[in-house]
Amino acid sequence: MASFSPVIGKVFGIDVQLHWSFLLLLLFSLYVSLASGSLYLFIIIVLLFACVFMHELAHSLTAKRNGLKIRKIVLLPIGGASEIANADSMSPELEFRVAIVGPLMSIFLGLLFGIFAAIAPAGIFRQLFQFLFLLNILLGVFNILPGFPLDGGRVLRGYLRKKKSYIDATKATVKVGNAFIVLFMIFTFAYVAAEPSYSFFYKEFIVLWDFVIAMYLYGGAKAEMQSAYIRE
């Protein structure tokens, strides 16, 4: 499916690639918007694209200013990836800075949209700003969670590398991430069990969705551990 993820432009000399899943989301939102006679959903998805792009651009520019080469930025619906050619050469301090700046950008954008929502008159623009406020805060908080492949995992490893080797810091971060996954699923089951107003099918959807997120985190942690062993 990589061939269906086109390069849509170049910013500061960095190729920007739209992942096929984001491309499908854009096309689906456009279809729904045209069918309903309102472009509101499509505009939200385009703004989501812009927010994810700013998150990843913050990573890439920080890395580039410190002498690292950026192969490309890949944008996905729930985040993105800045592919750094010589990422293994990053010092612990640089890995920390490159990782933390993305969530900080998302939180900054969220607060900015929150200010716009507070001063905007009641109506569709206030609703849009409120949605973008919530979206960016969630994007920032989710990415700062301490586990791979999230930014929080790299932040934690960058901090641990001040006292540990690269592979030991990676192992410790993976353990923290896996513990978080277990707690996350325990919380999910407890939440749906304690909520009487949800239907059985809606509870199933919540559990299934959170399980997909958990598997995404577990798979990312496993891949990062394998990469650390190869580097070692």
The residues, ordered by sequence, that sit 6+ positions from 32 with a Cβ below 8 Å of its Cβ are: 41, 42
Cβ–Cβ under 8 Å, residues 74 and 5: yes
Annotated active-site residue 56? The verdict is yes
Q: Which of 110, 194, 96 is nearest to 146 (CA)?
A: 96
What is the 8-class DSSP label of residue 78?
Answer: T
Q: Which of 138, 164, 158, 134 is nearest to 146 (CA)?
A: 158
CA distance readout (Å), 61 to 73, 98, 102, 140, 159: 11, 9, 10, 18, 21
Cβ–Cβ under 8 Å, residues 133 and 107: no
> φ, ψ for residue 72 (rounded to 5)?
-170, 165
Of 56, 83, 204, 224, which is the active-site residue?
56
Name the residues annotated as catalytic. Answer: 56
